[in-house]
Amino acid sequence: VPFCIALAVRDMGMTPDEALWSATAGGAAALRRTDIGRVTPGAYADLAFLDAPSHVHLAYRPGVPLVREVWRRGVRV
């Protein structure tokens, strides 16, 4: 996913915010899913916490492992 975000920013002219939204909430909206793609009450708690100061690093550091921890359905894995 970070590589796709980087391509969207570099080749498609998206901002890092637009690319991240497209990869999360935008994908869920395309599938007509309201229970995934964003952090809201009632949504599944599938999260990836980054070891970076900002999500912008996903766009400009493809190939660099930035994920610090992963949570799936509210449980750390």
Q: Where are the domains of the chain?
A: 2-76
What are 27's two structure tokens?
A: 């994908």
Give 15-50 pLDDT, tens digit per residue.
999 999 999 999 999 999 988 888 888 888 789 999
- The residues, ordered by sequence, that sit 6+ positions from 27 with a Cβ below 8 Å of its Cβ are 37
What are 77's two structure tokens?
A: 């894995």
- Give the pLDDT band of residue 62 (cuts 50, 70, 90): confident
pLDDT of residue 29: 94
Matching residue, tokens 């949570």: 71
How far apart are alpha carbons 61 and 16 in whole angstroms?
Answer: 12
Cα 43 to Cα 20, 25, 54, 64: the distances in Å are 18, 12, 23, 29
